[in-house]
């Protein structure tokens, strides 16, 4: 059954990791390099993939939670980020159908942008590897403002940068904090079920306006 079409959005904003780009393997293998340096067992792809949206601290907790104290977290995070930065796009690529989705938005003259919790120095370096991001209308990273998702401020800021109202935008993300931020900003929210959706609550309880199984499914909601 074809989904009910919505009014054409003024813009569509996306989360980055787990929504636009499949970064899990590069993030997880960064963790495994840290583990190997300490003669600790590696973590499997199946185990680290669901944690990828939780960033360096989430992955460090997965692999090293029994081997470091609170006083070591800052140094370990810096080591993780330095190693990840040096290997940021070895295995990363767009999720299937996402490039086509972004091209379709451009053909429809719908601006699109990125709102992520990833630090700007990593976001900027990662996006340089994919030419399509030259057409991105706005990029807001995790340290662009003092607040980050699930706070709605980054979404409001993105809208201000492209001169649209939040109520007229859609936000697509794969984490509960994405949906919370989008809802708090009064955007139409879409849960990217292809991403890294692990949480204590089932995805049906996240209160997304829509749950979609593939990037191209997003286009079915657009008016012709």
Task: Give alpha helix (H) positions in 87-211.
Answer: 98-107, 120-127, 153-161, 176-184
pTM score, whole prediction: 0.94
> Distance between CA atoms of 60 and 54, rounded to whole angstroms?
10
Of 195, 148, 28, the closest CA to residue 158 belongs to: 148
Q: Of 15, 17, 26, 178, which is the active-site residue?
A: 15
> Distance between CA atoms of 109 and 166, rounded to whole angstroms?
18
> Distance between CA atoms of 5 and 19, rounded to whole angstroms?
21
Q: Please indicate whether residue 17 is annotated as part of the active site.
A: no
CB atoms within 10 A of CB 163: 10
Of 12, 194, 22, the closest CA to residue 106 belongs to: 12
CB 138 within 8 A of CB 162: yes
CB 223 within 8 A of CB 7: yes
Strands (E), the chain: 11-14, 21-22, 93-94, 112-115, 138-140, 169-173, 188-192, 210-212
Q: What pLDDT was estimated at residue 204?
A: 86
Q: What pLDDT was estimated at residue 1?
A: 47
User: Within the chain, which residues score under 70 in pLDDT?
Assistant: 1-5, 223-224
């Amino acid at each position: 059954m074809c989904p009910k079409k919505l009014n054409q959005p003024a813009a569509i904003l996306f989360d980055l990791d787990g929504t636009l780009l499949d970064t899990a393997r590069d993030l997880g293998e960064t963790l495994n390099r840290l583990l190997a340096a300490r003669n600790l067992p590696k973590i499997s792809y199946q185990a680290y993939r669901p944690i990828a949206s939780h960033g360096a601290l989430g992955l460090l907790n997965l692999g090293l939670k029994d081997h470091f104290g609170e006083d070591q977290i800052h140094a370990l995070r810096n080591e993780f980020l330095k190693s990840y930065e040096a290997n940021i796009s070895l295995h990363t690529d767009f999720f299937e159908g996402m490039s086509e989705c972004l091209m379709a938005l451009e053909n429809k003259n719908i601006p699109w942008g990125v709102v992520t919790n990833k630090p700007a120095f990593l976001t900027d370096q990662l996006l340089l590897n994919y030419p399509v991001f030259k057409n991105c209308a706005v990029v807001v990273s995790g340290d662009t403002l003092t607040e980050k998702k699930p706070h709605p401020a980054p979404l409001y800021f993105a809208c201000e940068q492209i001169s649209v109202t939040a109520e007229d935008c859609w936000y697509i993300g794969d984490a509960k904090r994405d949906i919370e931020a989008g809802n708090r900003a009064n955007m139409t929210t879409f849960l990217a079920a292809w991403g890294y959706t692990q949480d204590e609550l089932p995805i049906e309880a996240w209160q997304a306006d829509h749950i979609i199984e593939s990037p191209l499914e997003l286009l079915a909601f657009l008016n012709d």
